[in-house]
Chains A and B, each alone.
Chain A
Amino acid sequence: MLVAVCLATVLPFWWMLSTSLKSANVVFDLSPLPTAPTFENYVQMWRAIPMASMLVNTFLNAGLLMVGQVIVATMAAYAFARWRFRGDNLLLVLFVGTWLVPFQVTMLPNYVLLSRLGWLDTLAALVVPHLGSAFAVIMLRQFMKSFPLELVEAARLDGAGSWAILWRMMVPNLRAPLATLAILSFISTWNEYFWPLLVTSRPDRTVVQVGLQMFLSSDGEQWGPLMAAATVATVPVLLVYVLFQRQVVEAFVRSGLR
C-alpha cells in the first residue's frame, strides 16, 4: 500500500518530465514513456520566455532572503529572548500577529508603498518586505531562551558584551535550527508566486513561477513547452532536496513540531 501511495505521489512528477520530452505531435499520446525523446520543448520554451534571467532572479531572491532572514531573525530573536524592556510582550504579540494576517489583506498597501518608493520591478521589492520572518524569529527565540544561562553568565563575567555573546557563543550552537531556517526559507521563497507577481511586471525581472503562469495563459496551451518550463522550475528545489534530504525533512518536521 505504501508502494501505491508513493507511486501516486511520484506520478505527476514523472508525467511532467515525460511530457516535456515528447515532441508536439506525440504529446497527446498517453504512453508513460516518451518513445522518441526530444529536447525541442526545452528549446521552444527557452526562446519563448526569458528563462535564464528568471532563473537568476529566482536564485537571487531565494538566496538573499535565505541569508537575510536568518541574520535578521537571529538578531531580533536575541533581542526578544534576552532583553527585558517596556512593552516587550506587546511587541512580541504584535509580531506573532503578523503571521496570521492573510497575504491578500496586506498586498495592496504594500504595493502602493513600493510604488511610491520606486522599487517596483527591482530585486529590492522582492526581498526587503520579507526580511522579517515572524516564523523564524519565533523559532529562534525558543531556542535562545533555552540556552543555558550559566554559560551566558560566565561569559558576562569574562567581560563579553551582548554582541559577542550572541555571535560567538549562541550562534555556533544554533547551527541546526539555523540550517533548518535557511532551507525552509530558500524553498518557500523559490516557490513563492503571488508577491513576485504583484511587484514585478517585466518578464526579465520576474521569477520562474510567474514566468510559468505567463506561459500558461498565453494563447493555445502548449503542453510540451509548458511541462519543460515546469520541470526547469522544479529541478533546483529537487536538487536541494536530493543533496540535503535529511536536513530538509527534519526542517519541515521540526517546524511542524515547533
Chain B
Amino acid sequence: MLLTAVWVYWPMLRTLQLSFYEWNLLPTRDPVWLGLSNYAQLLRQPEVSRAVLNSALYIVGLVPFTICIPVVLALALGRVRAPAERVYRALMFLPVLMAPVVSAIVWRWIMNPNAGILNALLQSVGIGPVDWFRTPNVALWAITVITGWKLLGFSTLIVWAGLTNINREYLEAAVIDGATSWQRLRFVIAPLLSPTLVFMLLLTVLLSGQLTFPIINALTQGGPRDTTTNIYYLLWQFGFESFNVGLSSAAGVLFFGGFLILAVGLMRLVDRLSFHDA
C-alpha cells in the first residue's frame, strides 16, 4: 500500500515539478528591484497598444476561418456520400498537420512578390503584384489567411462532428412540419450547433495569439512598422531581442492576467449562449 502511494504520488509530484518549470516566474523578476516601474513603462509604450489592437484584429480575422466557412463546409460535407466524404475530410485536414515553420516557409514561397505563384495568378487577372509581407496593412491579413488555412480543416471537422450529433428526429420533425431549408437551418440546426460554435469562438479568442505567433516570427517579425505584432510576439521580443527580462516578465504577468480574465469571462458566456439539447 505504501509502495503504491509512492508510485502514485511520484508522477504527480513529477508533473507538479514539471509544471513548476512553467511557473518559475520569480527568479527572473528584477535582481534590481524596480518595483512597479516596469509595468508603468510597459503601459506607456506604443508597441503595446499596437500589439493589443493587432491581436484583436487577428481574432476577428480568424473567425471566418474557424466558424463561418467551416459551417458552410460542414453542411456541404453532410450532404456528400461516403467514400467521397472521407476523402474530402482527409484532404481538408492536411494543413493542420503541417508544422507551423514549414507552412510559413511554403507560404512565403507562394506569396513571394516576384516569383511566387500567388502574384502570378493575380497578375493574370490584372491585379498588380503585391508585396504581401512588406506592405503595412496587407501583412496582417496575409498572416491571418495563412493561419486560417491551417485551421480550416480542424474547425470544419469539429463543426461537422457537432452537426452529426444533432438528433435526426428534430430535423425530420421539422420537415414534416413543412419547414424550408432555411428555416431548418435557423431554428433547428443553429441552436443545437451553438455549443460547438461557442467552443470554436472560445478557441479562436484564446489561441489566436499562440497560433499566429510562429508565422509572424518566421515571416514578418512583427513588421512592417509594427503592423503584425501581437502580444505573444511582443513578449518574445522583450525577452529575446532586448534581453530586458524584467520587462518581459512584467508583460507576461500582465497578459496572463488579462487572458485569465478573458477566459473566465468567456466560460461564463459559454453557458449563457449555448442551447443544450433537452
Residues of chain A whose beta carbon lies under 8 Å from any beta carbon of chain B? 1-2, 5-6, 8-10, 12-13, 15-16, 19, 27-28, 30, 71-76, 78-80, 83, 91, 94-95, 98, 100-110, 112-113, 128-132, 134, 137, 161-163, 166, 187, 190-191, 193-194, 209, 212-213, 216, 223, 226-227, 230, 233-234, 237-238, 241, 245, 248-249, 252-253, 256-257
Q: How many residues of B contact A (CB 8 A)?
A: 83
Residues of A within 8 A of B43 (CB): none
Q: Chain A residues near B77 (CB, 8 Å)?
A: 2
Among A100, A108, A230: residue with most chain B CB under 10 A? A108
Asked if A75 and B12 make an inter-chain contact with CB atoms under 8 angstroms apart, the answer reads yes
Closest A residue to B206 by beta carbon equals A100
Q: Is B80 an interface residue (CB 8 A)?
A: yes
B101 with A19: CB separation less than 8 A: no
List chain A residues, Cβ under 8 A from B106.
12-13, 15-16, 227, 230
51-93 of chain B: CB within 8 A of chain A = 72-73, 76-77, 80, 88-93
The answer to whether B95 touches A12 (Cβ under 8 A) is yes
27 A-B residue pairings within 8 Å (CB atoms): A2-B76, A2-B88, A9-B95, A10-B91, A94-B23, A98-B22, A100-B260, A101-B22, A102-B252, A105-B235, A106-B24, A106-B25, A108-B248, A110-B24, A131-B15, A163-B8, A193-B99, A193-B101, A193-B214, A213-B101, A226-B105, A227-B105, A230-B102, A238-B97, A241-B94, A249-B90, A256-B161
- Chain A residues contacting B17 (CB-CB under 8 Å) are 132
B19 x A134 contact (CB < 8 A):
yes
A121 CA / B116 CA spacing, docked (Å): 36
The answer on a CB contact under 8 Å between B4 and A72 is no
Q: Would A104 and B103 be within 8 Å (CB), given that A10-B94, A28-B115 are in contact?
A: no
B-side contacts of A249, CB under 8 Å: 89-90, 93, 157
Does B253 count as interface, using CB distance less than 8 angstroms? yes
Bound Cα distance from A238 to B236, whole angstroms: 30
Nearest-CB residue, chain B, relative to A164: B4
A9-B8 contact given A107-B239, A109-B28, A216-B105, CB 8 Å threshold:
no
Known contacts being A2-B88, A105-B249, A187-B97, is A12 close to B19, with CB within 8 Å? no
**In the complex, what's the smallest C-beta–C-beta distance from A180 to chain B, in angstroms?**
14
Docked pose: A237 CA to B149 CA in angstroms: 18
1/0 per residue B167-204: CB within 8 Å of A? 00000000000000000000000000000100100010
Q: A105-B256, A109-B27 are in contact. List 17 more A-B contacts (CB 8 A).
A: A1-B73, A15-B117, A75-B12, A76-B11, A79-B12, A100-B256, A104-B248, A105-B255, A109-B25, A129-B18, A129-B21, A132-B19, A137-B15, A187-B97, A233-B101, A253-B161, A256-B157
Please report the C-alpha to C-alpha distance between residue A8 and residue B148 in the assembled complex, in whole angstroms. 12
Q: B92: shortest Cβ distance to chain A, in Å?
A: 5
Residues on A with beta carbons closer than 8 Å to the beta carbon of B27: 109, 112
| Nearest-Cβ distance from residue B243 to partner chain A, whole angstroms | 9
CB-defined contacts of A223 to chain B, threshold 8 Å: 109, 115
B9 CB contact (under 8 Å) in A2, A79, A233: A79
Interface string of B1-42 (1 = CB under 8 A from A): 101110111111011111101111111100000000000000
Least CB distance from B133 to A in Å reads 13
Closest to B238 in A: A104
* A209 and B99 contact, CB distance less than 8 A: yes
**Nearest CB in chain B to that of A133: its residue:** B15
Q: Find chain A residues with CB under 8 A from B73 CB.
A: 1-2, 5
Q: Is the C-beta of B100 less than 8 angstroms from some C-beta in chain A?
A: yes
Tell me, in angstroms, the Cα distance from A164 to B94 when the chains sit together.
40
Q: B158 in the interface, Cβ–Cβ < 8 Å?
A: yes
Interchain CA distance A209-B103 in the complex, whole Å: 11
A76→B14 contact, CB < 8 A: yes
Are A12 and B110 within 8 A (Cβ)?
A: yes
Measured CB to CB, the closest approach of chain A to B205, in angstroms, equals 13
Q: Check if A163 sits within 8 Å of B117, measured CB to CB.
A: no
Would A253 and B158 be within 8 Å (CB), given that A95-B16, A132-B15, A234-B99 are in contact?
A: yes
